[in-house]
Amino acid sequence: MALIRWFKKMSRPRLRELDPDEIFLDSRNLPSFNTQQFEGQLEKPINKTVFYLFTIGVAVVAGVLLGKVALLQVVNGQALAARSESNSLRHQIIFPERGILYDRHGEELAWNDPDRLYITTPGFGHILGFIGYPTAEELTTTDFDHKELIGREGAEKLFNNQLAGAKGIKIEEINVGGGVVSDHFLTMPESGQSLVLSVDADIQAELYQQIKNLSEERGFAAGAGIIMDVTTGEIIALTSYPDFDPNVMATGTNREAINEYLTDPRSPFLNRAVSGLYTPGSIIKPFMAAAALAERVISPDKTIVSTGQLVVPNPYNPEEPSIFKDWKAHGAVDMRRALAVSSNVYFYQIGGGFGGQAGLGINKINEYVRLFGFGAPTGINLTKENKGVIPSPEWKEENFPGQPWRLGDTYHTVIGQYGFLVSPIQVVRAVAGISTGALVKPTLLKADGTATTVAEPLPLANSDLAVVREGMRLAVTEGTAQGLSLPAVRVAAKTGTAELGTLKEDVNSWVIGFWPYEAPRYAFVVVMEKGSRSNLIGGVAVMRRVLDWLAIYKPEYFSI
């Protein structure tokens, strides 16, 4: 009762005098309030029902929260403590999806399904490469994870950073049974970038198939070929025979096939187009001709007579002169015809000199072949690119101590023999330089229009290079490369036959060139490895078949 009386007392209104600015207006009178008569506080009273409901709501929420705390601490406390002690956290690396490789027309060459798969057409192993796990050395020198699949060769290795993407990290809560209780990502994985290669898959396959066919028909051990855009450096085709299946290497499960690759004496893992080194033979002659013209050693119209050999008197024993052979007697030839018929005698004389004819000498020969990019990597950056060998007095002293450089060494060097070694990728780049007057960097990526091709102009007069181009065209119309005379396109070319070993029973067969002759767009090289000396069909036959195929199925490559 006392509590009731107190409540009534407190509820009874107290009378006191109010100031005008303390008046509480009834909500029903607000519309009639005259703001000009009073200033001060105007407050609308809170409805009692609202006040009581608000108080009850606060009390309910507080009760729920207190109940939850009690549930966690008292009811489930022991269970949660046991889970905390028995569960563990595990950091897991999440590998992203690898980027797709396309050919220049959008055909998939490498993709995920979900494993990494590759085009099954033969001829793509070296240019695509494959993926595999890091080696022990790579694990100590890089940030690769031991479960991470990385590019091992070819484009997969060259562009691994772009294709691989970025790894993610996920934290998993693991119970005592090894089950995942919960998980969340610290870092989300980012898929790799897909790339469009410069390669035309159809031309790549055809070039490989024709090299393979001729090897089997004519007994060559191996071969390689490249077709390159002369202005952008884009590789349209780059192949090496024999090849390997990148699907076999990526899965690693077909041990029998892998063992066959490893024991094959032809070394199918060797990318002959980039890592292979070959004696160039007569394909070096266009570059020697350009050097002789630049140094004004000879005019393009002056003739030199080839009787089939060059006889150099021996001052110590006149009865035993030194004889340097031509492959046949060509008669009087100027520079254009010397290139067309591949006269050794002509190039002996402009290289080393003879009688009244001055020669370049070995130092100038070295200077100019290096100017065309020989003796150095091209910048394509594929695995194990070799820089080759350019013979010189220093090279001879290193390899044959105590033996001086002789005139005969210069004669042999100027026709691409002796210790001369070049790679097909170096050759195709140099041929492109002859056709345009500039060296470009070979690339496996198709130009997207945002990057500018960097070409290094050759310090050679275009008029001199034009003479060389005319000689290479004459080789097709009247000389050693007549097999490349086609109605569909005008080709300029140079053939070469490089003798192998001391007995010289085997040879490498070369053909280099470009098309169209009037406005060069593509340079090419084909080398057929270790065939019989008696065989007269080699690199020219391969390139003829490829050009015939292009005329039918890809005539757009012949447009000017």
CA-to-CA dists, residue 312 to 52, 110, 342, angstroms: 125, 59, 20
Instruction: Place 37 in a pLDDT band, splitting at 50, 70 and 90.
Output: very low
Neighbouring C-beta atoms of residue 390, cutoff 10 Å: 20
* Among the ranges given (6-20, 187-201, 359-373), the one the predictor scored with the smallest mean pLDDT: 6-20
Domains of the chain: 89-195 (3.90.1310.10), 201-558 (3.40.710.10)
Q: Is the pLDDT of residue 35 over 90?
A: no
Count Cβ atoms within 10 A of the Cβ of residue 544 and give its class: 0-12 exposed, 13-18 middle, 19 or more buried.
Answer: buried
pLDDT of residue 145: 83
Share above pLDDT 70 across residues of the chain, in percent, rounded to a whole number:
85
> Could you tell me the sign of the dihedral formed by the alpha carbons of 546, 499, 221, 109, in that order?
negative
Mean pLDDT computed over 492-499:
95
pLDDT of residue 427: 99
Q: Which residues pair with 422 in a beta bridge?
A: 278
Instruction: Place 67 in a pLDDT band, splitting at 50, 70 and 90.
Output: low
Instruction: Place 500 in a pLDDT band, splitting at 50, 70 and 90.
Output: confident
Q: Is the pLDDT of residue 449 over 70?
A: no
What type of residue is 259? N
Query: How would you list the strands of the sheet with 522-532, edge to edge?
Result: 235-241, 222-229, 522-532, 506-515, 492-500
Q: Is 334 left (phi over 0), alpha (psi -120 to 50) or beta?
A: beta
Q: Enumerate residues 6+ apart whose C-beta is below 8 A from 233.
A: 429, 432, 440, 441, 442, 443, 453
pLDDT tens profile 384-397:
899 999 999 999 99
Count Cβ atoms within 10 A of the Cβ of residue 279 and give its class: 0-12 exposed, 13-18 middle, 19 or more buried.
Answer: buried
Mean pLDDT computed over 65-90:
61
pLDDT of residue 412: 97
Say if CB 326 and CB 345 are below 8 A apart: yes
Q: What is the mean pLDDT of the chain?
A: 88
Share above pLDDT 90 across residues of the chain, in percent, rounded to a whole number:
68
pLDDT tens profile 197-245:
999 999 999 999 999 999 999 999 999 999 999 999 999 999 999 999 9
pLDDT of residue 505: 81
Q: Which helix (H) or strand (E) holds 161?
A: helix 160-164
Tell me how far apart the alpha carbons of residues 30 and 553 are, in angstroms, rounded to a whole number: 92
Tell me how far apart the alpha carbons of residues 326 and 311 are, in angstroms, rounded to a whole number: 11
Residue 540 in tokens:
């020219």
Mean pLDDT computed over 111-124:
96
pLDDT of residue 447: 85
Instruction: Place 74 in a pLDDT band, splitting at 50, 70 and 90.
Output: low
Which is higher by pLDDT, 170 or 319? 319
Residue 193 in tokens:
């970038």
Q: Report the candidate in 550, 545, 542, 469 with the shortest Cα–Cα distance to residue 508.
A: 542
Q: Is the pLDDT of residue 32 over 80?
A: no
* Among the ranges given (90-94, 102-106, 301-305), the one the predictor scored with the smallest mean pLDDT: 90-94
| 3-class DSSP state of 510 | strand
pLDDT of residue 534: 82
pLDDT of residue 46: 62
Which is higher by pLDDT, 191 or 367? 367
pLDDT of residue 82: 54
Q: Which residues pair with 387 in a beta bridge?
A: none
Instruction: Place 454 in a pLDDT band, splitting at 50, 70 and 90.
Output: confident
Q: Is the pLDDT of residue 20 over 50?
A: no
Mean pLDDT computed over 346-354:
98
Q: What is the DSSP string of 442-490?
A: -BSBPP-SSSPP-EEE-SS-HHHHHHHHHHHHHHHHTSTTGGG--SS--
Tell me how far apart the alpha carbons of residues 396 and 381 are, in angstroms, rounded to a whole number: 29
Mean pLDDT computed over 460-488:
98
Mean pLDDT computed over 290-298:
98
Q: Is 123 left (phi over 0), alpha (psi -120 to 50) or beta?
A: left
| 3-class DSSP state of 435 | helix
Q: Is the pLDDT of residue 40 over 50?
A: no
What type of residue is 36? Q
pLDDT of residue 173: 77
Count Cβ atoms within 10 A of the Cβ of residue 450 and give its class: 0-12 exposed, 13-18 middle, 19 or more buried.
Answer: exposed
Instruction: Place 75 in a pLDDT band, splitting at 50, 70 and 90.
Output: low
Q: Is the pLDDT of residue 434 over 90?
A: yes
Q: Is 23 left (phi over 0), alpha (psi -120 to 50) or beta?
A: beta
Instruction: Place 312 in a pLDDT band, splitting at 50, 70 and 90.
Output: very high
Q: Is the pLDDT of residue 510 over 50?
A: yes
Beta strands in 330-472 (DSSP E): 331-333, 438-440, 455-457
